[in-house]
Amino acid sequence: MASWLIVGTVPTETFSLYLGAFHLENWEIHFDGDKRGGVVEVQRGTPTLLAAACLTLESLGCKPPMALLCGDTGQGKGSREIYAKLVQCLPEQTFSGLTFHYLYPDVDWHNRIWLALERLAPRPQLVCDAGYMYVAKMSGYAQGYDLFTPDLGELTFLADAQAPHPFYTRGFVHAEDHDVAALARKAYQDSNAAEWLLVKGETDHLVHQGKIVANIQEPNLPVLEAIGGTGDLLTGVVTGLLASGRPMEQACKEAARLCRQAGQLANPTPASQITEMLARLPELVRSLG
Amino acid sequence: MGFLAKIFARFGKANAALEKERTDQSFLTFQHTGEVIRAEQLLADHGFAVRVLAPPAWLRTGCDMVVVVPAVHEPAIRALLESQKLAPEGVYPVADGLLAPVSLFRYVDFGDWFMVQAANMKITVERRSGRIVNVSGGGCPDVPYLAAKYVGMTLDDAEEPRFSAQTLCAYALQKAFMEARRRWHHG
């Protein structure tokens, strides 16, 4: 079975472009084919997603994912190196799926990658979160993706046809006051949502083609919203479950439940760090069987 | 004047006022969002009435902001920006409504901690010490970088995010940071 590729940035300028395997050791990401010997600490962002996907797949006895990464602290230079590498390598390598994460939104590069993806047969599964989800919506190609993992505020952004970025979304802050079903329907009707949405919030909503098909509410821990990396954790776990071969609906439901259970076992406060939840993941994934 | 004529006259006046406001303003574009953030601060520090808004759809590339300035001050503004090596890439008249950023804050009380959200960014602070314990949300690459920098610092010790902000998410973090600082000092 082909590997799953995770595409994102790491928060340092000095990390140069890397495509290859990785493993997790003492909450650091180690790059197996990298002779430079660099490591990246797992705190939040794409390193957390990498750790969650890796732990999930290892706990299921499956092959870990691959990573395409570059350092980027906001200038966008590292993201553009990633985009260029991806356009070059997509025709040469086979991936079962790709997860796009913290990347500088650049609609021109998005569209070049989209063209490269469209030429692949079969086309890999496509998951988007964070900056790449923003640019996927802005590009007008959102419905070509398999899964977006927005939080409730980002769902409001997807449902606002005019907003180019969540920063400009009308009604963003009070997203919890909105009707999630109506927002999901509008986002899909306007072609601004992927086929599936896993909407993260006090209740996680699984949406298929604009309709809510499942709600995951338990265990309910409001403090998780404050902890940086909980969204990365969820996207990482769902990536791992999809890469293991699970169908989309099952993968999303299990991922949402697992992340809530990991939170409960970690007994978190708003000051907890994401590694406390990641540490609980292997035992929970193994219990899935 | 008949009823309909009055309505059309009022409508015409409103349109004329709107048109005047539009033609009175220009917007400046920059190569990178980080330059927009620095230009806004520089111009505000020099007393210019400026606003940050979204560019019109035909100018959008992904992570965009423009600085809207009074057209009458454009020569002075350009000179000031150029003196600081912040020359705009383009200057355009404001011809259509530009989207404004989210301006409301969400506040969540967690007892010993509180969280402030601005747009898609959240910052959580220990009430007793003012220590930043978590930064979450966002999607642009400087968010994990800024989060790693800020977690563990107090609101008073930490430098405002705008000094290293490069993206819209970081600009939103600046707003959340300032609101958190205000709340911590004034309750």
3-state SS string over A17-85?
CEEEEEEEECCEEEECCCCCCCEEECCCCHHHHHHHHHHHHHHCCCCCCEEEEEECCCCCHHHHHHHHH
Nearest CA in chain A to B145: A11
* Residue A203 or B20, more confident: A203
Q: Sort out which chain B residues have CB atoms less than 8 A from A134's CB and list them.
A: 62, 139
Q: Sort out which chain B residues have CB atoms less than 8 A from A105's CB and list them.
A: 62-63, 139-140
pTM above 0.80, yes or no: yes
Q: How many residues does chain B have?
A: 187
Fold exhibited by the domain B3-93: Alpha-Beta Plaits (3.30.70)
Nearest CA in chain B to A72: B141
Q: Sort out which chain A residues have CB atoms less than 8 A from B57's CB and list them.
A: 164
Which residue among A75, A170, A228 places its CB closest to the CB of B147?
A: A228
Q: Do B124 and A270 touch (CB under 8 A)?
A: yes
pLDDT score for A168: 87
- The answer to whether residues A129 and A149 touch, using CB atoms and an 8 Å cutoff, is yes
Is residue B110 classed as helix, strand or coil in its secondary structure? coil
| CATH number, domain containing residue A82 | 3.40.1190.20
Q: Could you state, in chain order, the average pLDDT of each consecutive group of 10 residues for chain A (289 residues)?
A: 92 92 93 79 94 97 95 94 97 95 95 96 96 95 97 92 86 68 95 97 95 96 94 98 97 98 96 96 92
In sequence order, the β-bridge partners of residue B115 are B108, B124
Nearest CA in chain A to B63: A105
Cα B154 from Cα B18, distance rounded (Å) = 45
- The answer to whether residues A23 and A54 touch, using CB atoms and an 8 Å cutoff, is yes
pLDDT score for B97: 76
- The answer to whether residues A272 and A36 touch, using CB atoms and an 8 Å cutoff, is no
Q: Which of A167, A172, A174, A177 to mutate to test the interface with B (most CBs of B within 10 A)?
A: A167
pLDDT above 50: residue B12:
no
pLDDT tens digit sequence for B110-138: 999 999 999 889 999 999 999 999 999 99
Q: Residue A160 belongs to what domain range?
A: 3-286
Cα A202 from Cα B102, distance rounded (Å) = 22
pLDDT score for A229: 95
Which residue among A79, A169, A226 places its CB closest to the CB of B136?
A: A226
Cα A240 from Cα A255, distance rounded (Å) = 9
Element (H, E) at B121: strand B121-126
pLDDT above 50: residue B7:
no
A128-137, A242-251, B29-38, B98-107: lowest mean pLDDT where? Answer: B98-107
Q: Do B124 and A230 touch (CB under 8 A)?
A: no
Report which DSSP code applies to A88.
H
Whether B133 contacts chain A with CB within 8 A: yes
ipTM, interface predicted TM-score of the complex: 0.92
For the residues B60-71, what does the mean pLDDT come to? 88
Q: Do B64 and A165 touch (CB under 8 A)?
A: yes
- CA-nearest of B126, B173, B179 to B153 is B126
pLDDT score for A86: 97
In sequence order, the β-bridge partners of residue B183 are none
Q: Do A168 and B102 touch (CB under 8 A)?
A: yes
Distance from the Cα of A68 to chain B's closest Cα (Å) equals: 15
- The answer to whether residues B28 and B80 touch, using CB atoms and an 8 Å cutoff, is no
* Omega within 30 of 0 (cis) for the link into A150: no
Give the position of tokens 């180019």: A164
Average pLDDT, whole number, for chain B? Answer: 86
pLDDT score for B21: 47
Task: Fill in the amino acid letter for B20.
Answer: K
pLDDT above 50: residue B13:
no
Q: Sort out which chain B residues have CB atoms less than 8 A from A138's CB and list them.
A: 60, 62
pLDDT score for A13: 87
Chain centroid offset of residue A237 CA: 9
